[in-house]
Chain A
Amino acid sequence: MSGRSRTAPGLTALAYVFLGLTTVVVAFPYLWMVATSVKPIEEFFTYPLQWLPAAPTARHYLAVLEDSRFLRALLNSTIVATVVTAISIALAVPAAYGLVRLAGQRGRPMLIAILSAQFFPPMIFFIPFYILLAQVKLLNTLTGLVFAYLSVTLPICTWMVATSLRALPRELEEAARIDGCSDVQIIWRIVLPIARPGIITAGIFAFVLAWQEYIFALLYTTTPAAQTAPVLMFYYLGQHQIDYGRLMAASVLLSLPIALPFAIIQRHYRQGRNEGGVKG
């Protein structure tokens, strides 16, 4: 028997209506983006404005996909985001394990120090990174971007993995040790599998951050060889005549690689919660 629905069924109905309206407001820009991306140019200028395309076309998508510079930028974004994710996880997981499980309470100050790196505004790095990357000849390279992005993703990933490690019951590891498992075996067979949802979530987070990063990419890359997709979109905008059809098609393409991992993240969140519920 649910007490709250008994006392206020009206409020619950109101909550549904409110959420329905909010969801429409939140989803609308995206639906508008997709609608625009398949709208022929002629229909942009009809009056009154036509909300749905009368004759949908794939023209804008083809134009974007035939643009070798955009494809190159997509490839660059993919490379940078993948490498940043791999390095972030490779460094964050052992560090989180070392500070949370091995050092325990003594590792806490260090964890907090790592987390506090997040408070640094990106503007603090504008000039140091610029000078540093220029000096080691990494301006206009993907390597330079990877370096800059790690300053953002590493603290967050370490914190996320540390949080999920802290939730693991210590007894499992102790039981395994009594059974004669070595430290390496314990990490490999027990800690990593259980912490996997947290690690995957952190990895996806790093990917999403690197995929949409814009500031450093704008400052440190100007040549097509190193430009990422967000920066190239900015150049599209810089043209005196903005081609919105093309821009919306590019936006849809740019959103897809994030939409997919996000769907996975959601499932893992729920799975993780269920597993915790069963055990706890």
Chain B
Amino acid sequence: MILGRFRRRLAIGTGRTALGYLFAAPLLVVLTVAVLLPALYNTGVAFFRYNATRDTWRYNGFDNFVGLFQSDAFWNSFWVTLIWVAGNVGLQLVAGFWIALALNRIVRFRGAFSAVLLIPWVSSFVVVAVLFLWIYHPQLGVLNDLLLKLGLVSKPVAWLSSPELAQVSLIMANSWKFFPLVMITLFTGLQDVPGEVLEAAEIDGAGRFQTLWRIVVPLLAPSIATAVLLSTIWGYNSFTLPIIMTAGGPLGSTEIMGLYIYKLAFDAFDFGGAAAASIVLFVQILAMVALYLRFADRELAPAG
């Protein structure tokens, strides 16, 4: 009797759930080995000092973290990363917003425009890096040539080899690669804003920017939050473009956290320090996600 009821429950509710997990089991095993265990291992490494000459590990508590916080190079990369993330998010958001708005207004050729606008997003990192190295080339680059022809500059600009400009030049290249996803996210959000709302605002005589700022932006808030979160995470996780285009230079002006961790691990063989720095990076990302969840929840609350 009890067994029978148990069987019935298995068959109706838990049975299907168990079968579901069985279907997922191979994936869960691989993810445990390829994601979860390495992440835990990395956490462990952060508390050890690796001696490359003797290939030995020694436990040293929080020393790796203390060492980071006392290191000028760490703080340099911390601030460089903040500027990098803020610049990327800002530029991608501004570009993505206006382009999404324009796409939303037109009907004809929308598919053709968006097909071209999505190209950078599917371009290989290395190709983008090579492309912009070539465009930014001081003597042979087309950007300087264009600016000289237009009379906007009087002599070639050293885009990537001057500490003041390298970061901005990198941000422009990186934003070129990543704006399409922000654009798509905001465009999808805009499609949910009823046309009548926009129209009514225009008829009521609200100024264009007032309409945008008071009506469209608040309605878009969830999409904007998602776009900001995504480009923030990508910003923190960046590596390929900076290492190829500037390798952190000149004078550490573009040494974002990813490059700092890479150099610590594979140039200095400070595995413990690199692991600790990657945890600091991860904590920053988690803080952003937490901020997003709070912000997005508050924004979504009145609607649902």
A interface residues, Cβ below 8 angstroms from B: 3-4, 7-8, 11-12, 14-16, 18-19, 22-23, 26-27, 29-30, 32-33, 36, 44-45, 48-49, 51, 91-92, 94-95, 97-99, 101-104, 106-107, 110, 114, 117, 119-132, 147-148, 150-151, 154-155, 158, 208, 211-212, 214-215, 218-219, 229-230, 233-234, 237, 242, 244, 247-248, 251, 254-255, 258-259, 262, 266, 270
Q: Is the CB of B117 within 8 A of A126?
A: no
Quick one: which of A12, A14, A230 has the most chain B CB within 10 A?
A: A230
Chain B residues whose CB sits within 8 angstroms of the CB of A219 once the complex forms: 266
Q: How far is the CA of A158 from the CA of B258 in the complex (A)?
A: 27
Q: Is the CB of A233 within 8 A of B126?
A: yes
Q: Is the CB of B131 within 8 A of A251?
A: yes
Q: Is the CB of B130 within 8 A of A233?
A: yes
20 new A-B pairs (CB below 8 Å) besides A11-B105, A218-B243? Answer: A3-B196, A7-B202, A29-B135, A32-B135, A102-B20, A102-B23, A103-B24, A104-B20, A110-B28, A123-B261, A123-B274, A124-B281, A125-B42, A127-B45, A148-B34, A214-B239, A219-B266, A237-B130, A247-B130, A254-B126
B252-276 interface with A by 8 A CB criterion: 257-258, 261-262, 265-266, 271, 274-275
Q: List 6 A-B contacts (CB under 8 A).
A: A36-B134, A95-B24, A104-B16, A107-B24, A119-B285, A234-B244
Of the candidates A32, A103, A124, A237, the one whose C-beta lies within 8 Å of that of B42 is A124
Q: Is the CB of B42 within 8 A of A98?
A: no
Chain A residues whose CB sits within 8 angstroms of the CB of B101 once the complex forms: 15
Of the candidates A7, A44, A94, A99, the one whose C-beta lies within 8 Å of that of B26 is A94
Of the candidates B20, B135, B257, the one whose C-beta lies within 8 Å of that of A101 is B20
B71-125 interface with A by 8 A CB criterion: 95, 98-99, 101-103, 105-106, 109, 111, 113, 115-120, 122-125
Tally of chain B residues near chain A (CB < 8 A): 87
Chain B residues whose CB sits within 8 angstroms of the CB of A151 once the complex forms: 31, 34-35, 38
Contact status of A120 and B35, CB under 8 A, knowing A95-B26, A214-B240:
yes
B70 CB to closest chain A CB (Å) equals 21
Q: How far is the CA of A130 from the CA of B261 in the complex (A)?
A: 14
Q: Is the CB of A126 within 8 A of B278?
A: yes
Q: Is the CB of A99 within 8 A of B39?
A: no
B165 adjacent to chain A (CB < 8 Å): no
Chain B residues whose CB sits within 8 angstroms of the CB of A51 once the complex forms: 142
Q: Is the CB of B131 within 8 A of A33?
A: yes
Chain A residues whose CB sits within 8 angstroms of the CB of B41 once the complex forms: 128, 131-132
Of the candidates A18, A95, A121, the one whose C-beta lies within 8 Å of that of B237 is A121
Contact status of A4 and B126, CB under 8 A, knowing A29-B131, A219-B266:
no
Chain A residues whose CB sits within 8 angstroms of the CB of B22 once the complex forms: 98
Residue of B nearest to A27 (CB): B116
Quick one: which of B35, B109, B145, B282 has the most chain A CB within 10 A?
A: B35
Q: Is the CB of A128 within 8 A of B124?
A: no
Of the candidates B130, B257, B261, B289, the one whose C-beta lies within 8 Å of that of A251 is B130
Chain A residues whose CB sits within 8 angstroms of the CB of B137 once the complex forms: 244
